[in-house]
Homo-oligomer: A and B are copies of this chain.
């Protein structure tokens, strides 16, 4: 035989998944998610993905068409997952303040647990969201958070609990920003401020703080003095 080498991935080492198309697809997708989310789109290597897969590099092209398409598939799955869960959120039975806090907690925890998603979004922004722009799947996703927030704000204002005039989308921005940044910028922040943003007690304190900030903002009489 030949080509006994380390770099190229034409040959598989692991038991192949012949005749399980869907399994193979998932396998590739999973590995690709890791690769892209930790190395970026340009930094991610088709070879490296193939090497950690039960199949060969050739199959990536067979199933996905190319590097960019694979990346897009990864991105679509990541967005699909969070949207699906967000849409299942059921907050109308809670008091406005409790509902807001529940939403914040959910966002906070989800971002904390899904660093892969966070990194993929960061990567997309590095690339000016050019890949996302090409994705119908992401464009067509049903986004309910804003509506959910709008309804909570409405109820809060109606009940006199919330005084401030804040737009749902701005509120979402503020919540997302904090939850996202804690994860996305963890590495530089930790390095510069000698902190550990992943520590359990820090996490609890921060979750409370962002909740307090949002709630006190909404309750404040005259928002912008």
Contact = CB atoms under 8 A, between A and B. Distances in A.
Which residue, of A7, A22, A215, A216, has the highest number of chain B Cβ atoms within 10 A? A216
A99 B213 CA distance: 18
Nearest to A36: B126
Contact of A126 (B6, B40, B128): B40
A219 to B, nearest CB: 8
B2 A22 contact: yes
Contacts of A176: 181, 185
A209 B217 contact: yes
Interface in A53-69: 61-65, 69
Contact of A43 (B22, B41, B197, B223): B41
A64 B2 CA distance: 9
How many of chain A's residues touch chain B, expressed as a range? 35 or more
Contacts of A24: 2
A15 interface: no
Which residue, of A7, A122, A126, has the highest number of chain B Cβ atoms within 10 A? A126
A119 B126 contact: yes
A169 B186 CA distance: 13
Contacts of A223: 208-209, 212, 216
Given A178-B174, A224-B208, A184 B125 contact: yes
A209 B170 contact: yes
Interface in A1-34: 1-3, 5-8, 21-22, 24-25
Contacts of A200: none
Which residue, of A178, A185, A220, has the highest number of chain B Cβ atoms within 10 A? A185
Contacts of A173: 178, 181-182, 189, 197, 206
A192 interface: yes
A63 B189 CA distance: 30
Closest CB pairs A-B (n = 9) = A177-B181, A42-B43, A129-B187, A2-B21, A42-B42, A213-B217, A216-B220, A216-B216, A5-B65
